[in-house]
Amino acid sequence: MRWALVKVCLAVTVMVVVAFAVPLGMVVQEMASDRAISNAERQAATMGPTLSITTDPVQLRKAVESTQMGASGRMAVHVPAIGAAAPVDIGDGWAGAAVVAEVRGLGRATTAHVTGGDYAVLQPTALGSGDIAVIEILVPENEVSNGVTTAWLVLAGVGLALIVGSVAVADRLGARLVRPAERLADAAHQLGEGRLGARVPEDGPKELRSAAVAFNSMADQVVELLANERELAADLSHRLRTPLTVLRLNAASLGDGPAAEHTRAAVEQLEREVDTIIRTAREQRPASQGLAGAAAGAGAGCDASEVIRDRMGFWSALAEDEGREVRLAGVDRVVRVPVARPELAAALDAMLGNVFRHTPEATPFAVDVHDAGDAVIVLVSDAGPGIADPDAALRRGNDGGRDGSTGLGLDIVRRVAESTGGDVRLGRSVLGGTEVRVWIALDDRARGGDRGASGRRGRRKRRGN
């Protein structure tokens, strides 16, 4: 569309330039010719008074030589025979005797072409005897076309400037029309590739603005639908796994016997079925839903301390049943984070559920909250055996080779952190077991792509230092 508009504008401008410049150049050429002819006629008229007084060859020659044209050899005077006197010709003639005789017979000025492209202006003048003398002036070709070349060059330059200007204006206008369409197409490709944060600026012509508004509305609805699906999957994980953990712990306290074994087997079967459902839901969810959560949760937030106190109210009862010592720190003040409450609760349940599932009973654990200014750090530590390969456990969907794990727990935690521009790290805790460090950024929300990755690497380097 852009180049088509440029071509149309170029064609129209060229036609306009040709339509006006060519006639104007021809007018300039005609004016230069008329100017040279008129000047020659004026020079010829200067000999009229002399011819009306005398036809003496000597006097006529002196009069001719005293003029500008005569001095340059460009004037000739042709006097016919008067009575018994012979004809008088002063100077060289260029048009020929036949043309001179024709002018004398017609009695009006005539311009004739001569050899080499020059012109000869023949002006008849009446003598005192009633006869007609002819004054001939040579007009060189360069005088006839004087200034014409310059005028054509000026017209060509103006025409070229108009063409270049019109092409530039058409290109800018075309870019203004095409750029919104290109942005719309690019955003559609990004959305198709799973980058759900793609939006289109609502500018440009009215029709493209309407298309941009419709596209953004559609993208928002897609993000909302995927966010709802993600929320349901996360809700399934912490709503089902948490009661299952309680059932498994209660079944373990039933002792021996057929009923107890059947109960424990049923609980394990139920856990496997729930794991299968969660794993299937996760495989069907595109990997870009972390961006969907970030987009849907932009501007949402909660008090991390309040959420942690609430969830610890539930897990503390289980910890007391298993004889686990619990330490809670940093939750006595308000700590706002840019994460929706259900998201943070699901991430916290995933981390605490891992502690209860993968550490022996009576293993102590701790939850700490630190406000680092530009981020909030949530630490979940335990005194268990730890994780042999933290990097492998952090890989998306990796279960670490542990039975009863879907790999979704740390993935939920990771997505919550990365939706704010933060990250998750596993390490050795001060209690001797595993430490899950969740970095929730406060100033780099909704950041994605390489920029977010580089920011996370930078924070890791600072923490390492």
Half-sphere exposure of 417 (CA within 13 A, CB side): 26
Most confident range (mean pLDDT) of 115-129, 230-244, 271-285 is 115-129
Half-sphere exposure of 38 (CA within 13 A, CB side): 6
Name the E strands within 330-422: 336-337, 365-371, 375-382
The closest alpha carbon to 276, from 393, 394, 404, belongs to 404
- Model-level pTM? 0.40
The closest alpha carbon to 232, from 406, 412, 378, belongs to 412
pLDDT digit string, tens, across residues 131-165:
888 898 888 888 888 888 888 888 889 889 988 88
Predicted confidence at residue 230, as pLDDT, reads 64
Name the E strands within 317-373: 326-329, 336-337, 365-371
Q: CB neighbours of 368 closer than 8 A, spacing ≥ 6?
A: 328, 329, 330, 377, 378, 379, 381
Across all residues in the chain, what is the average pLDDT?
79
Predicted confidence at residue 109, as pLDDT, reads 87
| Phi, psi for residue 394 in degrees, rounded to 5 | -85, -15
pLDDT digit string, tens, across residues 258-279:
777 878 777 777 777 777 666 6
**What average pLDDT does range 338-349 have in this prediction?**
87
* DSSP designation for 374: S
- Between 245 and 360, the more confident residue is 360
Check if the beta carbon of residue 5 is closer than 8 Å to that of residue 174. Answer: yes
3-class DSSP state for residue 80?
Answer: coil
The closest alpha carbon to 347, from 451, 259, 231, 449, belongs to 231
Q: Which amino acid is at 175?
A: A
418 exposure class (CB count in 10 Å sphere: 0-12, 13-18, 19+): buried
Query: How many CB atoms are located within 10 Å of the residue 152 CB?
Result: 17
| Distances, alpha carbon 169 to alpha carbons 10, 162, 163, 178, 294, in Å | 10, 10, 10, 14, 41
Return d(Cα 299, Cα 446) in angstroms, integer: 10
Give percent of the chain above pLDDT 90: 13
The closest alpha carbon to 108, from 127, 128, 132, belongs to 132
pLDDT digit string, tens, across residues 386-427:
887 777 777 655 544 545 454 556 877 888 898 899 999 999
Predicted confidence at residue 407, as pLDDT, reads 53
| Distances, alpha carbon 140 to alpha carbons 33, 67, 91, 113, 445, in Å | 11, 17, 16, 10, 84
Predicted confidence at residue 422, as pLDDT, reads 92
